[in-house]
Amino acid sequence: MSALLKQLEEQARALSAEERAQLAEFMLESLSPLTSEIESAWDEEIERRVAAFDRGEVPACAAEDVFVEVRRISLSRR
């Protein structure tokens, strides 16, 4: 480990848990510049889906029913 990396590690450990989480997120994003673009696209998709639900264009499903269906599909693929 380089001296700079060791120094950065020590400084990072001195941060609060929230600050370390923010730093980790920043570092991961720096490895894949598309991450922020993907997150933006998902944000837009979520807004689109919520708006469609609010307009009554998409029916609501009980979470229990969804989980039952997922289990059924999962078991049928084994």
Number of domain units in the chain:
1
Q: Which domain holds residue 58?
A: 3-76
Residue 4 reports pLDDT greater than 80: yes
As given in the structure block, the two tokens for residue 33 are: 């510049």
Q: How far apart are CA 32 and CA 74, in angstroms?
A: 31
Question: Cα angle at 48 between 32 and 42, to 5 degrees?
Answer: 10
Q: How far apart are CA 41 and CA 37, in angstroms?
A: 6
pLDDT digits (tens, 9 = 90+) for 9-66: 999 999 999 999 999 988 987 887 677 788 889 999 999 999 999 999 999 999 999 9
